[in-house]
């Protein structure tokens, strides 16, 4: 029965046009970034950075390098926005439309209903991240060759990897990106369980993210960086370090899982005591 | 099938339902009447486990809704005032989705209810293309899917045109006749309640101010309509003979205790006053309801 409920929840989610806003925005952003990388000084600056460190630029301006270059700003800016949009809709939109009242006239428990919705939200987040990685590689392969991978993210990673190892790490990084997206879905979902409009739930989730980001960047809070989710969100880039700092990555992933679970529990508690009225 | 005992519901300190108790036995069509904000929807919400009572006990199908919601709602169907669905999906897909929240439902069962409500041929169309009447039928279909024993209808005729209201009324009667359902109907349409319900409860500001049979409401003891060529002379004669105790609007007379319409007719004909018509007056549920909820007269200042 759980699988049937989940299947139907996914029908509801993927049947809506607004679910695809994120996919559309990513495709557009990727196209624009790819063209900008190819036809502006961006590529030249990158080549200069590589040659300045003693590498042959032509060997590393590749599908994987460009895919990652396109991915970093999208993951930081667009991904939280679109997953929060869907997460904020999960419960609040149904309450606003009145369909929630119809569902809750049936014998399904509130906890079960929320769990199904939460899992559907996480599936959406995973699909969005996978699509983001695949389309980034697909677009990049149209204009760039398949060669080694160069990773540069100030303060986090500076690596040069052979193509095969680069691909493995690129695929692995998406696992961590999916966790990041799931956390954002869970936070938006939590707000969505309270008595508020879907847009308010989305805005609150994004505010939570931005507050974390701003505070993390204030020097005074350096010693508290482990308390900010945005600090842990960056762990997906650590996978490109050589060697990868696994203990740090695992610590961040555990914290992100805990944040996600806590958001679900808080949301479920709020929803459990709520009166659902027309 | 439904039992509310001393139920109280407060929203942020405001009393929405005040010490409400009533029972709806199996097979009955029970009407819940009241103005907007009287507490009808809150009471229905508590029966469906959507609104938690502040105190009191709500039982549906013999199970406590708070502690055993699943068992209580297993064979309950509900329809709300404005039928809302996932407009971007087909009627069939909507029914499939909603059925999974109760129990596994076969395609044959979905087809059966679609046929029962008369939506065959349109089930694969997106709900956004449905008229209001078709949405109401789909709402009925989703309520019938779990083979309910109890149907809770919250303003089911809201927004329907006169034809739609008539159709809904016929459907409700058909549901009780053919499927033997117990029905709780909350409605503003007093005429509808009068035609459908066997018993009613009236809520005013969250409090039950009446509960009883519709037949009792309609029968007004001793009130008789009299149609005669000279109403004034006739009533003067009847009063003098002690046959009546009051008159109203030059149309109605109230019989003295133990007197019958036959005696009235005999007295008038004997006195040479022609009687064009005489019949027991039945007040409508509307008259009764309006009298019941009429605000008390404000005391006059000296």
Decide: B233 and B273 in contact? Cβ < 8 Å.
yes
For each successive 10 residues of chain B (302 residues), what is the average pLDDT? 93 90 93 89 94 94 93 92 90 93 88 91 93 90 92 85 85 87 88 87 90 78 81 90 85 84 89 88 75 66 52
Name every residue in A having a CB less than 8 A away from some CB of B.
1, 4-5, 8, 11-12, 15-17, 97-99, 101-109, 113, 273, 275-278
Structural domain span for residue B115: 84-147
User: What SS3 state is found at A159?
Assistant: strand
pLDDT of residue B222: 65
Q: Which helix (H) or strand (E) holds A180?
A: helix A163-192
Q: How many structural domains comprise chain B?
A: 3
| Of B65 and A39, the one with more pLDDT | B65
pLDDT of residue B297: 60
| B117 and B249 both lie in a single domain | no
Nearest 10 degrees: Cα torsion B43, B45, B46, B52: -120
Q: What burial class does residue B209 get, using C-beta atoms within 10 Å of its C-beta: 0-12 exposed, 13-18 middle, 19+ buried?
A: middle
Q: Give the Å distances, CA to CA, from B131 to B83, B134, B136, B164, B170.
A: 11, 5, 9, 11, 19
| B137 and B155 both lie in a single domain | no
User: What SS3 state is found at A149?
Assistant: strand
Neighbours of A268 (CB within 10 A): 18
User: A105, A272, A275: best mutation site toward chain B, by most B Cβ within 10 Å?
Assistant: A105
pLDDT in tens, A216-274: 889 888 888 889 999 999 888 888 888 888 999 999 999 999 999 999 999 999 999 99
Decide: A98 and A278 in contact? Cβ < 8 Å.
yes
**Tokens linked to B52:** 């938690």
Kindly provide the ipTM of the predicted complex, given to two decimals: 0.82
| B93 and B227 both lie in a single domain | no
| B60 and B154 both lie in a single domain | yes
| B89 and B28 both lie in a single domain | no
In DSSP terms, which residues pair with B199 in a beta bridge? B30, B213
Q: Which residues on B lie below 8 Å from A10 (Cβ)?
A: none
In a domain, B33, yes or no: yes
In DSSP terms, which residues pair with B34 in a beta bridge? B203
| B154 and B54 both lie in a single domain | yes
In a domain, B210, yes or no: no
pLDDT of residue B247: 86
| Of B189 and A8, the one with more pLDDT | A8
Neighbours of A127 (CB within 10 A): 17
CATH number at residue B234: 3.30.70
Taking the model in full, what pTM does it have? 0.85
| B3 and B68 both lie in a single domain | yes
Facing residue for B50 by CB, picked from A99, A113, A276: A276
- Average pLDDT of the segment spanning A113-122: 96
| B56 and B155 both lie in a single domain | yes
| B61 and B155 both lie in a single domain | yes
pLDDT of residue A161: 85
Q: Tell whether B24 is within 8 A of chain A (Cβ).
A: no
| Of A45 and B219, the one with more pLDDT | A45
User: What SS3 state is found at A158?
Assistant: strand
pLDDT in tens, A159-182: 888 889 989 999 999 999 999 999
- ∠ CA A158-A162-A164 to the nearest 5 degrees? 120
| B70 and B1 both lie in a single domain | yes
| B133 and B185 both lie in a single domain | no
Looking at chain B from residue 67 to 96, which residues have their Cβ under 8 Å from any Cβ of chain A? 69-74, 76-78, 80-82, 84-86, 88-89, 93, 96
Q: Which residues on B lie below 8 Å from A106 (Cβ)?
A: 73, 98, 101-102, 146
Query: Is the Cβ pair B70, A109 closer than 8 Å?
Result: yes
8-state DSSP, A146: S
Closest chain B residue to A278 measured between Cα atoms?
Answer: B41
Q: Which residues on B lie below 8 Å from A120 (Cβ)?
A: none
Q: Which residues on A lie below 8 Å from B45 (Cβ)?
A: 275-277
Q: What are phi and psi of B217, to 5 degrees?
A: -65, -40
CATH number at residue B4: 3.40.50.300
Report which of A5, A112, A117 is spatially closest to residue B104, judged by C-alpha positions: A5
Q: Can you state the angle between helices A198-216 and A79-97, rounded to 10 degrees?
A: 150
Q: Tell whether B46 is within 8 A of chain A (Cβ).
A: no
Closest chain B residue to A97 measured between Cα atoms?
Answer: B84
Q: Tell whether B98 is within 8 A of chain A (Cβ).
A: yes
User: B67, B84, B91, B100: best mutation site toward chain A, by most A Cβ within 10 Å?
Assistant: B100
Show the 3-state SS of chain B: CEEEEEEEEEECCEEEEEEEEEEECCCCEEEEEECCCCCHHHHHHHHCCCCCCCEEEEEECCEECCCCHHHHHCCEEEECCCCCCCCCCEHHHHHHHHHCCCCCCCHHHHHHHHHHHCCCCCCCCEHHHCCHHHHHHHHHHHHHCCCCCEEEEECCCCCCCHHHHHHHHHHHHHHHHHHCCEEEEECCCHHHHHHHCCEEEEEECCEEEEEEEHHHHHEEEEEEEEEECCHHHHHHHHHHCCCEEEEECCCEEEECCCCCHHHHHHHHHHCCCCEEEEEEEECCHHHHHHHHHCCCCCCCCC
Confidence of residue A156 (pLDDT cuts 50, 70, 90): low
| Separation of alpha carbons A43 and B34, rounded Å | 73
| B56 and B190 both lie in a single domain | yes
Decide: B199 and B28 in contact? Cβ < 8 Å.
yes
In a domain, B167, yes or no: no
């Amino acid at each position: 029965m759980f699988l049937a409920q989940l299947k139907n929840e996914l029908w509801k989610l993927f049947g809506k046009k607004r679910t695809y806003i994120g996919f559309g925005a990513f495709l557009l952003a990727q196209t624009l970034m790819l063209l900008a990388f190819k036809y502006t000084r961006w590529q030249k600056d990158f080549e200069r950075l590589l040659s300045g460190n003693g590498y042959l630029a032509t060997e590393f301006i590749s599908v994987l390098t460009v895919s990652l270059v396109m991915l970093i700003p999208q993951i930081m800016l667009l991904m939280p926005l679109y997953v929060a949009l869907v997460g904020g809709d999960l419960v609040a939109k149904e309450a606003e439309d009145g369909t929630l009242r119809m569902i809750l006239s049936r014998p399904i428990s509130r906890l079960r209903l929320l769990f199904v919705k939460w899992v559907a939200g996480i599936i959406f987040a995973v699909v969005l991240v996978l699509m983001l990685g695949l389309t980034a590689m697909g677009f990049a392969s149209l204009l760039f060759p398949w060669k080694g991978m160069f990773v540069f993210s100030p303060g986090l990673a500076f690596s040069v990897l052979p193509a095969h190892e680069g691909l493995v790490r690129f695929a692995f990084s998406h696992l961590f990106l999916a966790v990041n997206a799931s956390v954002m879905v869970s936070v938006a979902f939590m707000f969505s369980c309270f008595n508020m409009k879907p847009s308010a739930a989305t805005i609150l989730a994004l505010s939570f993210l931005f507050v974390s980001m701003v505070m993390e960047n204030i020097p005074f809070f350096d010693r508290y960086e482990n308390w900010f989710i945005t600090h842990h969100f960056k762990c997906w880039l650590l996978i490109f370090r050589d060697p990868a700092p696994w203990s740090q990555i695992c610590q961040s992933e555990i914290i992100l899982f805990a944040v996600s679970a806590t958001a679900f529990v808080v949301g479920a508690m709020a929803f459990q005591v709520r009166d659902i009225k027309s | 099938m439904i039992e509310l005992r001393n139920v109280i519901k407060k929203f942020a300190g405001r009393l929405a339902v005040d010490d409400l108790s009533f029972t709806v036995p199996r097979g009955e069509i029970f009407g819940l009447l009241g103005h907007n904000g009287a507490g009808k929807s809150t009471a229905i919400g508590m029966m469906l486990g959507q609104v938690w009572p502040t105190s009191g006990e709500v039982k549906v199908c013999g199970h406590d809704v708070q502690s055993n919601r699943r068992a209580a709602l297993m064979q309950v169907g509900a329809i709300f005032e404005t039928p809302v669905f996932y407009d971007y999906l087909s009627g069939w897909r909507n029914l499939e989705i909603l059925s999974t929240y109760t129990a596994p439902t076969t395609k044959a069962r979905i087809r059966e209810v679609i046929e029962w409500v008369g939506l065959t041929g349109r089930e694969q169309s997106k709900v956004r293309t449905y008229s209001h009447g078709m949405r109401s039928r789909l709402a009925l279909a989703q309520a019938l899917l779990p083979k309910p024993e109890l149907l809770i209808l919250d303003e089911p005729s809201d927004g329907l045109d006169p034809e739609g209201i008539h159709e809904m009324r016929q459907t409700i009667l058909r549901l009780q006749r053919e499927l033997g359902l117990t029905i709780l109907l909350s409605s503003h349409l007093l005429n509808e309640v009068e035609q459908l319900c066997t018993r009613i409860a009236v809520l005013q500001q969250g409090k039950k101010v009446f509960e009883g049979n519709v037949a009792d409401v309609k029968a007004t003891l001793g009130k008789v309509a009299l149609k005669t060529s000279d109403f004034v002379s006739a009533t003067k004669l009847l009063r003098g003979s002690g046959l009546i105790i009051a008159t109203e609007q030059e149309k109605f007379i109230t019989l003295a205790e133990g007197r019958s319409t036959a005696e009235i007719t005999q007295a008038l004909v004997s006195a040479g006053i022609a009687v064009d018509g005489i019949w027991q007056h039945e007040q409508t549920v509307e008259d009764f309801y309006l009298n019941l909820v009429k605000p008390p007269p404000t005391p006059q200042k000296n």
